[in-house]
């Protein structure tokens, strides 16, 4: 599953918006995921070098963190539940770590 430039930009914007809504710092998020700061940065930006499994795990972790914070997550327009089914055919998706 590869994303075009517009989809990468939208996904990066949605991840950033959900990070803000979550109230988590980048440091706390990286620690929860077991990511280095550079790995988190690449994943938040959905860079070509980022692992698609990391992007899905970040998406799910942020969605969970936003809900724990008592807010509604910004909806994902590319990383939808329908596209998750396709992603599972290509990748071994990971469960997000518990937040809160």
Strand ranges (E), the chain: none
Please give the pLDDT value at position 1. 57
Domains of the chain in sequence order: 5-90 (1.10.260)
Please give the pLDDT value at position 95. 87
pLDDT digits (tens, 9 = 90+) for 57-98: 999 999 999 999 999 999 999 999 999 988 888 888 888 888
- Of 17-26, 32-41, 82-91, the one with minimum mean pLDDT is 82-91
Question: Exposed, middle or buried, 46 (CB in 10 Å: 0-12/13-18/19+)?
Answer: buried
Mean pLDDT across 21-34:
97
């Amino acid at each position: 599953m590869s994303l075009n430039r517009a989809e990468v930009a939208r996904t990066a914007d949605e991840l950033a918006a959900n990070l803000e809504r979550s109230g988590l710092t980048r440091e706390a998020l990286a620690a929860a995921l077991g990511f280095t700061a550079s790995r988190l940065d690449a994943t938040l930006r959905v860079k070509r070098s980022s692992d698609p499994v990391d992007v899905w795990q970040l998406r799910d972790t942020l969605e969970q963190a936003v809900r724990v914070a008592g807010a509604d997550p910004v909806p994902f327009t590319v990383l939808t539940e329908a596209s998750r089914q396709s992603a599972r055919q290509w990748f071994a998706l990971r469960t997000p770590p518990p937040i809160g």
